[in-house]
Amino acid sequence: MDNLCKLVNAVDKGFSVEVNNSKAMIEFDKIQSKYCTSEDEEATCYSYEAIISSYFIKLLNNFKICNGEDNLENDKLAQYTILWLFHKLNKNSQNGISNLNDFRNTYIKENKDIIKIINDDKVYNNCKDVINKKIYSMPIGVKEMSRLYEALKFLCKFYTGCNEKETNYTSCSQDAQDFAKHFEGLNQDSNITGNSSYREILYNLFNDYDHLKTDCAEKCTDCKDIPTLSEVKAPPSSSIAKTLIPVLLTFAIPVFLGIAYKYSLFGFHKRVQRKHLRERLKK
């Protein structure tokens, strides 16, 4: 979590977006001068989405997600990095991106050359497989992922405060409550809990918060009233199954027992007939 929160916060400070009259005003701070060329006093810059795409791949690479190792920690960091990406895409709704596949087709493919300039060929090629794998395994939308990212931001604020302030972390309880409130809102939303990808991210947020809560309580003297999260809700289909199966069993068991009883009587009657026939033959 330490590297994740530091990198996301650092990149966030480099990108600021203000929407005014449906027009996105993008400020890149130092990033802007790095990725703009000036000719005849006119600045030509890479598009917002091209730079976002490039920094998305840069984050994946920095977290060593593209090194070919397939493990739970890498999967979690990849998910959190995708949250950051979608949060940034959601800042500029004019781009028309609504899901990860749209993003790949529109910006990763079209801006391949720019991405290679900002990163390099090796980084792009290493991360390409990870992007393709995640795109096809995560049926997700921009708005929902942006909401999940807000939860990650609250968690990072709590994490940073706990690790940097320690004995002087006076806002510990409030920061924890802010995360818990946002998490519970997501957990009550069936659109979130009904999607396996969103629910997996909720589980990761839940576990990271749970570990941090224990760690923070030991380190920080001001961390007294840290709320406990409710368990991640099961998808609606599971609830239906839990209700439906007992109902089906209620009807099925008597029917099964009735059939079994009928056939047991039938078998008993046959045995009686055979016995009676043998006795008659003996006579």
Please write the tens of the pLDDT for every residue from 20-29. Answer: 444 434 454 4
- Strands, E assignment, 141-243: none
Q: What is the pLDDT of residue 34?
A: 54
Q: How confident is residue 110, by pLDDT bands cut at 50, 70 and 90?
A: confident
> Does residue 44 carry a pLDDT above 60?
no
85 in the same domain as 23: yes
| 144 assigned to some structural domain | no
Above pLDDT 90, what percent of the chain? 17
Long-range (24+ apart) CB contacts under 8 A made by 69-77 are 76/204, 77/4
Asked if pLDDT for residue 268 goes beyond 50, the answer is no
Q: Which of the pair, 173 or 237, is modelled with greater confidence?
A: 173
Q: Answer yes or no: is 143 within a domain.
A: no
pLDDT for the residue numbered 51: 78
In a domain, 146, yes or no: no
Domain assignment present for residue 145? The answer is no
User: Does 225 lie in the same domain as 118?
Assistant: no
Of the residues 138, 167, 202, the one at which a domain ends: 138
Q: From 138, 245, 151, select the one nearest 200 (Cα to Cα).
A: 138
| pTM (predicted TM-score) | 0.71
Q: Is residue 147 included in any domain, yes or no?
A: no
Per-residue model confidence (pLDDT) at position 206? 96
Lowest mean pLDDT among 70-79, 166-175, 178-187, 247-256: 247-256
- Host domain of residue 283: 245-283
91 confidence band (pLDDT: 50, 70, 90): confident
> Is 15 a member of any domain?
yes
Let me know whether 157 and 257 are in one domain. no
Q: Please determine, for residue 265, whether its predicted confidence score (pLDDT) is greater than 50.
A: no
- Give the Cα separation of 169 and 193 in Å (integer): 33
Are 166 and 127 found together in one domain?
A: no
What is the percent of the chain with per-residue pLDDT over 70, rounded to a whole number? 61
User: Looking at per-residue confidence, does 135 or 43 come out higher?
Assistant: 135
**With 80 as the cut, is the pLDDT of residue 155 above it?**
yes
Distance of CA 236 to the CA centre of its chain: 18
2 and 79 within one domain: yes
Q: How many angstroms separate the CA atoms of 234 and 220, rounded?
A: 33
The H-or-E segment that residue 87 falls in is helix 72-90
Same domain, 216 and 103: no
- The answer to whether residues 193 and 64 belong to one domain is no
Q: Classify 27 as helix, strand or coil.
A: strand
| Average predicted confidence (pLDDT) for the chain | 72
* Count of domains forming the chain: 3
Task: Give the residue-averaged pLDDT of 194-205.
Answer: 91
Closest to 71 in 3D by CA, of 138, 130, 142, 13: 130
**148 found inside a domain:** no
Tell me, yes or no, whether 251 lies in a domain.
Answer: yes
> Binning pLDDT at 50, 70 and 90, where does residue 185 land?
very high
In this structure, the answer to whether residues 157 and 216 fall within a common structural domain is: yes
Greater confidence (204 vs 77) lies with 204
What are the pLDDT digits (tens) for 211-254? 988 888 888 777 878 899 999 998 865 444 444 344 444 444 44
Q: Which of 69, 103, 138 is the last residue of a domain?
A: 138
Closest CA to 148 of 201, 227, 191: 201
Does 132 lie in the same domain as 2? yes
Same domain, 110 and 215: no
Claim to verify: residue 216 and residue 268 sit in the same structural domain: no
In a shared domain, residues 252 and 222: no
